[in-house]
Copies of this chain bind each other. A is one copy, B any other.
Amino acid sequence: MIVHEFKMRVRYADTDQMGYVYYGHYARFFEAGRAELIRSLGFTYREMEERGVMMPVAGLEVRYLRPARYDDLLTIRSGIRELPEKRLKVYSEVFNEAGKLCTGGKVTLAFMDGKTNQSMDCPEFFLQVLRANWSV
């Protein structure tokens, strides 16, 4: 598996009138977390697209346990638990500064050929990146 932690601060733009982070904004936190996970492997999602592979999101699941609030420095823990074939699943957990779990989620991403817009298997070059960083 591969696990990565990344810190990100809640901005006013993220809050709603309940004083909580709006439920839709966790998608952005999860996205940042998985982009930084990939960067930690010596690769970037930008390079993925430059190589002609897009990764549209196919599924999202989120459980909201505790509200995150303005100016909280959140820790986003992103994890990949299995090597992808047609789909990559990234597990995301968001912790507040007290170390309490605010939100847990799973994002399922597809692989798509950027020229044909056809779905494809995980490209071999990305599997190699994952395998090189895999820990049991």
> Among the listed B17, B25, B27, B62, which residue makes an inter-chain contact with A17, where contact means beta carbons less than 8 Å apart?
B17
Q: Tell whether A13 is near chain B: CB-to-CB under 8 Å.
A: yes
**Copies per complex?**
4
Task: Answer yes or no: A67 CB below 8 A from chain B CBs.
Answer: yes
The residue in chain B whose Cβ has the minimal distance to the Cβ of A30 is B24
Could you list 24 examples of A-B contacts with CB < 8 Å?
A9-B35, A11-B31, A12-B17, A12-B18, A12-B22, A12-B31, A13-B16, A13-B22, A13-B28, A16-B17, A17-B18, A18-B54, A22-B27, A23-B57, A23-B60, A27-B27, A46-B71, A56-B67, A59-B63, A59-B64, A60-B60, A60-B62, A60-B64, A61-B61
Using a CB–CB distance below 8 Å, which chain A residues touch chain B?
9, 11-13, 15-20, 22-28, 31-32, 35, 44-46, 54, 56-64, 67, 70-71, 107
Extra A-B contacts (18), CB below 8 Å, given A12-B22, A18-B54: A11-B32, A11-B35, A12-B17, A12-B31, A12-B35, A13-B31, A17-B18, A17-B19, A23-B57, A23-B107, A24-B24, A24-B27, A35-B71, A56-B67, A59-B62, A59-B64, A60-B61, A60-B64
